[in-house]
Amino acid sequence: MWKICALLAALFAALTAILAKIGIDKIDSNLATGIRTVVILLLIWGVVFMTVPLSNIKLLTAKNWTFLILSGIATGLSWMFFFYAIQLGPVSRVASIDKLSIAMTIILAFVILGETVSWQVVVGGCLIVAGTLFMLWE
């Protein structure tokens, strides 16, 4: 099931880039990011209210809060830079550079989380980096 969800995440990430590129035409990228964030906020909290008992908030620890807040800050900065980049450049190239996050995630998962990295993951990460460099080479 996680693989299906990951594929759907990839599909919606691709749609995000294309729809955002169209949507930021002649407006400030930060304004566009703000509008998008409000939509996401409403969507996600709608899902939370329909599927998660609100009493679960009491289960959150200081560690949960700290790392979720830091993750939110990282997400916000990622979105702001992504939107600005697609406003300035071709979305196909910006998205390919953005996907270098996969290789960075592999490295950080190994270093910070201590995840095991198989040779297939290393080769796949290297191919992503090579593919990105190939797409940018012109």
Q: pLDDT tens, 11-58?
A: 998 899 999 999 999 999 999 999 999 999 999 999 999 999 989 999
Distance (Å, rounded) from C-alpha 124 to C-alpha 16? 24
Please name the residue that has the structure tokens 């035409």: 25
Report the percentage of the chain scoring pLDDT > 90: 83
Please give the DSSP secondary-structure letter assigned to residue 113. Answer: T
Res. 59: pLDDT tops 90: yes
What own/partner pairs with CB < 8 Å and gap ≥ 24 does 88-95 have? 91/17, 91/18, 91/20, 91/21, 92/135, 93/135, 93/136, 94/17, 95/14, 95/17
Distance (Å, rounded) from C-alpha 45 to C-alpha 68? 15
pTM of the predicted protein model: 0.83
Which of left, alpha, beta for 30 (phi over 0: left; psi -120 to 50: alpha)?
alpha
Name, in order, each residue with C-beta under 8 angstroms of 29's C-beta and a sequence gap of 6 or more: 80, 83, 84, 86, 87
Other Cβ atoms less than 10 A from the Cβ of 87: the count is 19
pLDDT at position 138: 72
Other Cβ atoms less than 10 A from the Cβ of 79: the count is 20
pLDDT at position 135: 84
